[in-house]
Structure 1
Amino acid sequence: MPIPRSAPVGRQLLRDDVHGRLRDAIIDGTFEPGEQLRDAELAAWLGVSRTPVREALLRLAQTGLVVARPGRSTTVSTISATAVREARDVVAAMHELAVREAVPRLTPDDLDEMRAAEARFEEAVAAGDVEAALRADDELHGVPVRVCGNRALATVLDQFVPVLRRAERLRFASAGARESVARHHDLVRLCGEGDAEGAASVVLDTFHALSTDDGE
């Protein structure tokens, strides 16, 4: 039986790196909604060939971060209220499930990690540092996701969190970030008390508090 030829590891890493860098540039506003993305220009910017750029743009189109019009153009998508609402509901449900499954398994070290991330988030919000707030938020919610060990859940989050991220940036730059501080405090407290149902309810409210108005 002939053995299928697999892609070299280096090529896969390159594709993932190009995808990640383009995704992050859209999320952080380097490429603005409505901006046209030309694969030749992006390839020159990243110092790669056009092939991984085209593959990355196809992946980004699948998650809704770009709009691809075959034979015409590829542009950064607008922050659609509908897309944000749909992604928010999926992400909220995944984090609710992660917390419900993880709380009984959280170790003292896991809880310390969540408390440290909570403190960093509060400091970042007070300082108006949106990037640091986003990192701390990811670290906090990432603990239950890691502990629950559900790979399918993590895959779904990888797909839909980027759609939500631009709206999260807007929220963390607004007065609504202070409400997230309080919810994070409740989440960590309930996790520490072993209250899986209460913690799951709080995390669901936390993501549903991301109003679709933030995605307009």
Structure 2
Amino acid sequence: MSLDHPVSRRLLSDEVFDRLRDSIVRGELVPGEKVKDSELAERLGLSRTPVREALARLVDIGLVEAKPGVYTRITTLNRHDVEKTLSVLRALDQLAIETAVPVMTEGHLQQMRQANRDFERAVAANDTAAALAADDRYHAVPIAAADNPVLSRIVEQLHPQIHRILHRKFSTLLGGRNTIEHHDRLIDVCTAGDARAAAELSGQHWSELGGHINRLFDTNQFAEPPATG
């Protein structure tokens, strides 16, 4: 959905939040870019109040940073912050899987298999958006099965910080056969009911992803022009 498409009044700040979050993840709003609530409100056909509310929520989840009276801008990609986010997501994902495996049904496993096939087709088509959506559906299954609303809420808040990196460097980070094969191995371990082994396998995958991202930082592939102001 385009950022410039008028927003229905009934959706207000929730819809603005979703659109801005997605625009940041896709790189349409780039790291370091200044944003003004008045300009965004005009583009979206709304008053400034819901835009301000959405921006405040984006600050809370780390996608926007604000210095009152000076600037509001898209957060830059910072290695230290990314490492901290990945470590939390790794721990939460392991907790979700270890909790979920004992209660997962064949229906859950089938959802994971279907999501991975969708992921595989999207990778073959070089469709980054579809691949990330399928990857999200895959990982959402054990999180839902774990039935922990606090865990689900925190993961939902943190995912966009990593998605903005995955969207920019998808083929490097998730686009190979290794991710598809990892997904299939995890399904096999979950099917066998080995919760500890499944959690360990998930942790290895997050660690590998962190290593790949670190190498991209090492080669300055996330460098942004200095933000003014």
Q: TM-score, normalised by structure 2?
A: 0.84
Mark the runs of 5 or more structure 2 residues left unpaired by the alignment.
1-7, 223-229
Is it true that 1:49 corresponds to 2:47 in the alignment? yes
For 1:147 and 1:176, how far apart are their aligned partners in 2? 24
The residue matched to 2:172 in structure 1 has which SS?
Answer: coil
1:5 maps to none
The residue matched to 2:32 in structure 1 has which SS?
Answer: coil
For 1:92 and 1:185, how far apart are their aligned partners in 2? 18
For 2:89 and 2:117, how far apart are their aligned partners in 1? 23
> CA separation of 1:198/1:12 partners in 2, compared to 1, >3 Å: closer, same or farther?
farther
Q: TM-score, normalised by structure 1?
A: 0.89
The residue matched to 2:209 in structure 1 has which SS?
Answer: coil
User: In the comparison of the two structures, how many residue pairs are matched?
Assistant: 207
- What CA deviation, in whole Å up to 9, does each residue of 1:143-183 have, x standing for no partner? 00111100110111122111111122244222653222221
Tell me which of 147, 150, 166 is aligned to 2:148.
Answer: 150
Q: RMSD across aligned C-alpha pairs, in angstroms? A: 1.8
Tell me which of 63, 66, 69 is aligned to 1:65.
Answer: 63
Which residue identity lines up with residue 192 of structure 2 in the other structure?
E
1:93: Cα distance to partner?
Answer: 0.8
Which residue identity lines up with residue 106 of structure 2 in the other structure?
P
The residue matched to 1:75 in structure 2 has which SS?
Answer: strand
- What CA deviation, in whole Å up to 9, does each residue of 1:13-50 have, x standing for no partner? 42221111111110111111111101111111222111
1:6 maps to none
For 1:94 and 1:193, how far apart are their aligned partners in 2? 21
Mark the runs of 5 or more structure 1 residues left unpaired by the alignment.
1-9
Mapping of 1:18-167 within 5 angstroms?
18-167=16-165
The answer as to whether partners of 2:27 and 2:168 remain within 8 angstroms in 1 is no
For 1:35 and 1:45, how far apart are their aligned partners in 2? 16
